[in-house]
Amino acid sequence: MLIVAERINSSRKTIARAIEARDTTCIQNEARAQAEAGADYIDVNAGAFVNEELACLRWVVEVVQKATELPLAIDSPDPAVIQGVLPLLDRPPMINSITLEPARLNHILPLVTSHGARVIGLCQSEDRPAESVDDKVRLAGRLVESVIRAGVPLNDLYIDPLVYPLATHSGSAMAAMEAIDRIMREFPGVHTICGLTNISYGLPERKLINRTFLAAAISRGLDAAILDPTDTLLYAVLKAGLAVAGKDDYCMGYIDAFRAGRLA
């Protein structure tokens, strides 16, 4: 499973303060901790700085790339910000994200192709984000068509069916999992991803909900997630979930994690 590490996000107060103060040590410690915990990409977000997002994100990118050799996931809804950051990157990134809104889609897809990037596609149309299973799958199909027309390999598309908080959308987890199952079957070669912690927003013991949803979603075909790899119990559930779902040949990933002391 591909892990996009979520902790360098300006929606977290500690990260916002570090970006504002240009605290290199804080940001680099976060990057190194997530890399050592098993991340494949380090997500970087400065969206809280509305009028200074580009400058802040450029600084974050430069600082993180000095701390780890992992590729970055550039996290912004603003195509201009993404375009302004891409020239700084040492390795092909993941772009987080596109929707089916024409201005966003048409601006970002050429950047995906020109930089050899992977891209997260949200099941969100010009009008609204998808809530029902059928809407999620229908919009996923439109995303697939769009990236193919743009010359993006299907293997580089990670579809996010969108997960809403269970506290306000009781059926959100089941709808997302059914959509994941159908997307993976109907569009061979594509990947699915989700922002894991959205599911537990507003509930007590959020990490318990996150772990339970992750294991269940893996069983339905989820093969990437935006999460906190430094959450040791979540990482253990991920490894166990892959083994139980038959996605870990001879349980070697699980055994390696055990030998490394990652299942405690």
pLDDT, tens digit (0-9, with 9 covering 90-100), for 97-125: 999 999 999 999 999 999 999 999 999 99
Q: What is the mean pLDDT of the chain?
A: 97
Distance of CA 149 to the CA centre of its chain: 23
Quickly state the pLDDT bin for 128 (edges 50, 70, 90): confident
pLDDT of residue 154: 96
Count of alpha carbons within 13 angstroms of residue 106, beta-carbon side: 4
Confidence of residue 144 (pLDDT cuts 50, 70, 90): very high
- Tokens read off for 139: 């919009």
Q: What is the pLDDT of residue 126?
A: 86
Please, are residues 94 and 133 in contact by the beta-carbon 8 Å criterion?
no
End-to-end alpha-carbon separation of the chain, Å? 20
What is residue 264's predicted lDDT score, i.e. its pLDDT? Answer: 79
Q: Confirm whether pTM is higher than 0.95.
A: yes
Tens-place pLDDT, residues 169-220: 999 999 999 999 999 999 999 999 999 999 999 999 999 999 999 999 999 9
pLDDT at 172: 97
In this structure, the strands spanning 157-160 and 2-9 are unpaired
pLDDT beyond 90 at 66: yes
- Report the chain's C-alpha Rg in angstroms: 18
Nearest to 193 by CA among 224, 238, 218: 224
